[in-house]
Structure 1
Amino acid sequence: MKQIRVYLPHESQPCSYLPQQRSRSLYVDPHLKLDQQELSLLSQNGFRRSGRVVYRPECPSCNACQSVRIQAQQLTLSRSHRRILKKNRDLTLKVELPVDGALHYPTYKRYINERHSDGDMYPPHFEQYQGFLLEDFGNTRFLSAYLGEKLIGSLVFDVLDDGLSSVYCFFEPEHSERSPAMFLILSLTILAHGLKLPFNYLGYQVDGCQKMAYKTRFSPLDAFINDEWRPKLR
């Protein structure tokens, strides 16, 4: 395994999750071409991928961001989870290669325009989508849900040595009543279980940020705290 160089900027910036805080991240050398084993090792140490940028929060005065993962082999389905799975029984799931970016972009564009017009990804454009979700290290797939021929939503994920890693989910806003994001995360966790992989990595859960609170609805859940994985207590 090659040496993995990381960089920590001197300057912090306003936090996009907690407005009263300052954020700073530790970055992997962007010139490195990482393989699946190295990406797996980084995920096991709390890192996250966005496009070809791999990072981990190292904030000066806050530790609210915690990398979390579902224990796929022990997944506990709540009553709400079972309702969501039942509601979406008419959908067809497909695992797809991220080859034809234009196929999923219209859904992504509608999702950002209607659900995240206050975020830093608005307004959406294809080059941004391509850099965010299609620039990968060769181990990325799309878990897509279809109603007949119509795309309802996609969960972009990475294949790791010890699990699957949920990168980003987008869906048709008109189908929000289906809870498509929860459905796709549950489906990916069930897929990891079927592949005998231990985990579904969910990225960062941010205490105090309501947008991230959905991640705590999965059980059992681990959190990366003080450089080790521990059970996440609700």
Structure 2
Amino acid sequence: MSNPDDSIFRRLQFYTTATYPCSYLPGHMARSEVAAPSHLVDESAYARLIEQGFRRSGLFTYRPACEQCQACVPIRIDVQHFQRDRTQGKLWRRLQSSLTTRLAPLHWDARHFDLYLRYQKKRHPGAGMDQDDQAQYTQFLLTSRVHSELAEFRDADDVLRMVAIMDRIDHGLSAVYTFYDPDWRSSLGTYGILWQLDYAAQLGLPWLYLGYWIEGSRKMAYKSRFRPHQILRGGIWAESLDDN
């Protein structure tokens, strides 16, 4: 990585991990580039790293660094110009009247953890995350050195249906992770993104960062349905071809 001419980045080092099985493309091996030491990745540095395609998992800030594959493309949604399509509009109106939302700091809650395990077992079987214990879950989702918050979504009977964890930076929100009741209504994940777009608009933030998009991946296809969006290629954010 060629570091920007910025004192924050001159204090950081970047190392590449050993290979590990790719969680998105079966049969592929992946590597990540990690910013270190993690205690120097404060809110200012984190915001600049996100602009360059990095993500956060607990205290680790990383981006894909696969030598033979560049399939993972960072994607962000233009909050100010986003317009719901017909399907998204119907979903928004339906779930706005069905769910209430509460914001809170990151914290341990056994009900959140139970929902997380149910989500993993149903939506990502075999990935290993359904075997996470409390310590792994806490390290993955509840450990942060930046401005992170949690949104709870509950139905009319006060039953927890979804949890979204996000980071707030000076130029947007970063959607860290969302998990939900896999046996309730469909499209909760889509609603979670619509809600975060609305929240970012209320805060006056220009971008919602959705992590990585892989063309042709069924798991990732939903991200490109939020328009207009930009993708990062060659260090430059630009509108994708289907938005022109």
TM surpasses 0.5: yes
Q: What's 2:183 paired with?
A: 174
Secondary structure of 2:183's counterpart equals helix
CA–CA distance in structure 2, aligned partners of residues 233 and 120 of structure 1: 35
CA shift for structure 1 position 127:
1.6
Q: TM-score, normalised by structure 2?
A: 0.89
What SS does the corresponding residue of 1:114 show, helix, strand or coil?
helix
List aligned pairs for 1:1-234, cutoff 5 A.
Answer: 1-2=7-8, 3-9=11-17, 11-88=18-95, 89-148=97-156, 149-177=158-186, 179-234=187-242
Q: What TM-score comes out, normalization by structure 1 length?
A: 0.93
State the number of aligned residues: 232
SS at match of 2:149: strand
Which ranges in structure 1 are unaligned for 5 or more consecutive residues? none
Contact 1:22 1:61 in 2 (8 A): no
Which of the pair has the greater relative contact order for Cα pairs under 8 Å at 6+ separation?
1
> What's the CA shift for 1:59?
0.9
CA RMSD in angstroms, aligned pairs only: 1.6
- Secondary structure at the aligned position of 2:141 is classed as helix
Determine if contact 1:155/1:185 at 8 Å carries over to the other structure. Answer: no
Identity, % of aligned pairs? 33
- Output the amino acid matched with 1:87: R
Question: 2: CA distance between counterparts of 1:168 and 1:201?
Answer: 11
Paired residue type of 1:171? Y
Deviations 1:168-199 (A, max 9, x none): 1101122132x111111101111111111000
Gaps of 5+ in 2: 1-6
**Does the residue aligned with 1:122 lie in a helix, a strand or coil?**
helix
